């Protein structure tokens, strides 16, 4: 966790101090043994050492970091952001840990860069990471993200080697357990939130068991889909579900169209019948009233009225009738009385 600058200094220090042969840990100044003109060279070397010492006895801790300070390999303290002093010459060494920053690990996909305006993802998949078995032994492709923070830098550095790799392994294991404990259809639909909560808690438990100072902030499921080969079939199910709704809707629509119309038609039929009824009754009333009044008249002078009515009727009828034959009692055939039509044709022929 030391900065490149520190590392450079350390390297510089080792080269200078050990004069070759000694390891880094052997520390301790091992000054060169010049038997030539000591004066100026000695002063020069001393000056250089002094200069380097003054540069390497301070270190800066950024706001999002904490520093773990070791003296001869043993941790003596952790320091907060700011400018701090340490003993130079490799006695004190500083490791900086980004404790405030929320870090993340991605499973099943990788973010390429987040620069510019939108995030780009790497195009290749990581099926090894994301393909897993559900409880009904179907295959599911789950992509997720684990966000975490290094809560305790001391534990993070010294309780476990490669705690972040452990976080990765545990995440995969726990996610597979959670998915394997549910039905594939649940994982794809309703159980997402539940799974991310359970997985977060279980990862956190494991981290606490290892006591590695990692605090899991959140686990977010990303794409949870059936494997690529099966996806068209899943889409087909969705389409057929839509189709089912469409068919039902169309039938309902037809019913909604026709039933009110039929009701209207029925009302028309009834209203018409009512009209007929009114008409019929009125007619009856009218006719009977007329009959009654004629009857009253008739009763006053029955014979005359009878004859009058008879003659009036014939008067009215005869002009309209096509032909009238008068038949003499005992004669064989009918005698045409009027043959207007034939006469007319004869006249017409003569004119021509």
Partner 1 sequence: MRSSMILIIAAFLLLLVSRSVYVVDQSEQAILVQFGEPVGDLVSTPGLHWKKPFIQEVRRFDKRVLPWDGDVSQVPTLGREFVLVDTTARWRISDPLRFLRSVRDEQGARTRLDDIIDSVVRDIISGTSLEEIVRSKDWTVDAKKLEELEEEVVTRQDVQLTKPKKGREFLEQEMLSAASRLMPELGIELVDVRIRRINYIDSVRRQVETRMISERQSIAERFRAEGQGRSSEILGEMSRELRTISSEAERQAAEIRGKADAEATRIYGEAFGADAEFYAFFRTLESYSTMGANTTLMLGADAEFFRYLESTRRRPAGGR
Q: Which positions from 260 through 299 interact with partner 1, judged by CB under 8 A?
A: 262-263, 265-267, 269-270, 272-274, 276-278, 280-281, 283-285, 287-289, 291-292, 294-295, 298-299
Q: Is 175 exposed, middle or buried (0-12, 13-18, 19+ CB in 10 A)?
A: buried
Q: Does 300 sit near partner 1 (CB under 8 A)?
A: no
- Does residue 226 belong to the site contacting partner 1 (CB under 8 A)? yes
Nearer to partner 1, 102 or 260 (CB): 260
Q: Tokens representing 141?
A: 């492709």
16 binds partner 1 (CB under 8 A): no
**Stretch 135-164 residues interacting with partner 1 (CB under 8 A):** 135-139, 157-162
Closest contact distance (angstroms) between CB of 84 and partner 1 is 19
311-340 binders of partner 1 (CB under 8 A):
311, 313-314, 316-318, 320-329, 334
CB atoms within 10 A of CB 110: 13
The SS3 call for residue 29 is: coil
Comparison of 4 and 32: residue with beta carbon closer to partner 1 = 32
The rounded radius of gyration (Å) of the Cα atoms in the chain is 57
CA-angle at 147, arms to 144 and 152, nearest 5°: 150
Binding mask 76-115 for partner 1 (x = CB under 8 A): ----------------------------------------
Told to check if 209 binds partner 1 by CB under 8 A, we report yes
Residue closer to partner 1 by CB (options 139, 151) is: 139
Find the part of the chain contacting partner 1 (CB under 8 A) among 8-16, 56-64, 98-106, 226-234: 226-234
Q: Which residues, 159 to 188, sit near partner 1 by CB under 8 A?
A: 159-162, 165-166, 169-170, 172-173, 176-177, 180-183, 185
* Structure-derived torsion over alpha carbons of residues 121, 127, 132, 138, reported in degrees to the nearest 10: 110
Burial of 181 (0-12, 13-18, 19+ CB in 10 A): middle
Q: Is 49 in the site for partner 1 (CB under 8 A)?
A: no
How far apart are alpha carbons 352 and 348 in whole angstroms? 6
Class of residue 108 by CB neighbours under 10 A (exposed 0-12, middle 13-18, buried 19+): buried
State how far the Cα of 135 lies from the Cα of 33, in Å rounded to an integer: 74
Closest separation between CB of residue 43 and partner 1, Å? 15
- The residue among 75 and 103 lying less far from partner 1, judged by its C-beta, is 75
- Applying CB under 8 A, which of residues 25, 116, 118, 352 lies at the interface with partner 1? 25
Question: Contacting partner 1 (CB under 8 A), which of 111, 113, 205, 258?
Answer: 258
Report the alpha-carbon angle 155-206-180, nearest 5: 155
Establish if 345 lies at the interface with partner 1 (CB under 8 A). Answer: no
Residue 93, Cα to own-chain centre: how many angstroms? 52
DSSP 131: E
Phi, psi of 134 (to 5 degrees): -90, 175
Q: Could you tell me which of 184, 188, 218 has the C-alpha nearest to residue 201?
A: 218
- With contacts defined by CB under 8 A, name the span among 8-16, 106-114, 141-149, 248-256 that binds partner 1: 248-256
Considering CB under 8 A, how many residues would be counted as binding partner 1?
127
Confirm if 104 and 148 have CB atoms less than 8 A apart: yes
Residue 352 to residue 349: CA distance in whole angstroms: 5
Nearer residue to partner 1 within complex by CB, 112 or 250: 250
- Tell me whether residue 64 or residue 194 sits nearer to partner 1 (CB atom): 194
* Among candidate residues 72, 66, 101, the one with its CA nearest the CA of residue 84: 66
Site for partner 1 in 228-247 (CB under 8 A): 229-230, 232-234, 236-237, 239-241, 243-247
């Amino acid at each position: 966790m030391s900065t490149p600058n520190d590392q450079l200094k350390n390297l510089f220090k080792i080269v200078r101090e050990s004069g070759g042969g000694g390891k880094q840990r052997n520390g301790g100044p091992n000054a060169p043994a010049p038997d030539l003109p000591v004066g100026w060279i000695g002063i020069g070397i001393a000056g250089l050492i002094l200069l380097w010492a003054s540069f390497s006895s301070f270190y800066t801790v950024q706001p999002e970091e904490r520093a773990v300070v070791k003296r001869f390999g043993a941790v003596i303290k952790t320091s907060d952001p700011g400018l701090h002093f340490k003993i130079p010459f490799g006695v004190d060494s500083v490791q900086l840990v980004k404790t405030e920053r929320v870090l993340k690990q991605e499973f099943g996909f990788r973010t390429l860069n987040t620069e510019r305006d939108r995030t780009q993802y790497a195009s290749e998949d990581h099926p090894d990471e994301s393909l897993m078995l559900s409880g009904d032994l179907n295959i599911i492709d789950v992509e997720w993200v684990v966000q975490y923070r290094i809560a305790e830098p001391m534990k993070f550095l010294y309780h476990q080697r490669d705690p972040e790799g452990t976080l990765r392994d545990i995440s995969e294991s726990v996610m597979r357990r959670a998915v394997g404990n549910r039905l594939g259809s649940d994982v794809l639909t309703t159980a997402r939130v539940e799974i991310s909560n359970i997985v977060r808690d279980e990862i956190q438990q494991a981290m606490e068991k290892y006591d590695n100072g990692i605090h899991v902030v959140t686990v977010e499921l990303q794409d949870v889909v059936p494997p690529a080969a099966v996806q068209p079939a899943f889409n087909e199910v969705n389409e057929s579900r839509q189709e089912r709704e469409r068919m039902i809707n169309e039938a309902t629509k037809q019913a909604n169209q026709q039933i009110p119309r039929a009701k209207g038609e029925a009302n028309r039929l009834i209203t018409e019948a009512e009209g007929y009824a009114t008409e019929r009754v009125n007619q009856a009333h009218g006719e009977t009233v007329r009959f009654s009044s004629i009857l009253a008249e008739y009763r006053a002078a029955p014979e005359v009225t009878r004859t009058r009515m008879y003659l009036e009727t014939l008067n009215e009828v005869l002009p309209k009738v096509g032909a009238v034959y008068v038949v003499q009692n005992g004669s064989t055939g009918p005698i045409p009385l009027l043959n207007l039509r034939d006469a007319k044709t004869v006249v017409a022929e003569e004119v021509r």
